[in-house]
Structure 1
């Protein structure tokens, strides 16, 4: 799966990492629903750090289509709400590589 972090670039993630990332995604959704700004900041940073550390960066000149687009680290709650689907960034029922 190719994931883009806005303002940073793309990484290739192995599908085996999706369950752990989905757990962080679920936590982020919960914090957003409850207006927990400190929790939101902490979990967004953890999610982006996990994607960076688990993924393999693609070259800057790579033109791979991104299957997921994640917000920049400084994104606001409102900006993230606009990017999120109903099931978060990592939907549990979507097969890797499937298009919505």
Structure 2
């Protein structure tokens, strides 16, 4: 699957990693619901770091359709709320 991190580019990520990423996504959602700004920031960074570690970056000139779009590392709580679906940022 192709994942876009806003402001950074795209990575190819095996769908087998989604369960691992969903744990961080669930944690992020809970922190957002509590309004835990520091926890939100910490977990968002952990989620993006994990995607970068597990994924393979696509060339900058590659423009493949993204199946998943994640916020940038400096996104605010409000910006991330706008990206959320019922499942959080990561489906499943």
Residue equivalent to 1:28? 28
Structure 1 segments (4+ residues) deviating >3 Å: none
Distance, in Å, in 1 between the alignment partners of 2:79 and 2:15 is 26
Question: Aligned pair 1:52/2:52, yes or no?
Answer: yes
Q: How does the TM-score come out when normalised to structure 2?
A: 0.98
**Structure 2 gap segments, 5+ residues each:** none
Distance, in Å, in 1 between the alignment partners of 2:51 and 2:36 is 22
Residue equivalent to 1:64? 64
1:67-97 per-position Cα deviation (integer Å, ceiling 9, x unaligned):
01100000000000001111111121xxxxx
Residue equivalent to 1:76? 76
1:1-54 per-position Cα deviation (integer Å, ceiling 9, x unaligned):
100000000000001111000000000000000000010000000000000010
Q: How does the TM-score come out when normalised to structure 1?
A: 0.90
Residue equivalent to 2:12? 12
**Structure 1 gap segments, 5+ residues each:** 93-100
Number of residues paired by the alignment?
92
Residue equivalent to 1:87? 87
Whose helix proportion is higher, 1 or 2? 2
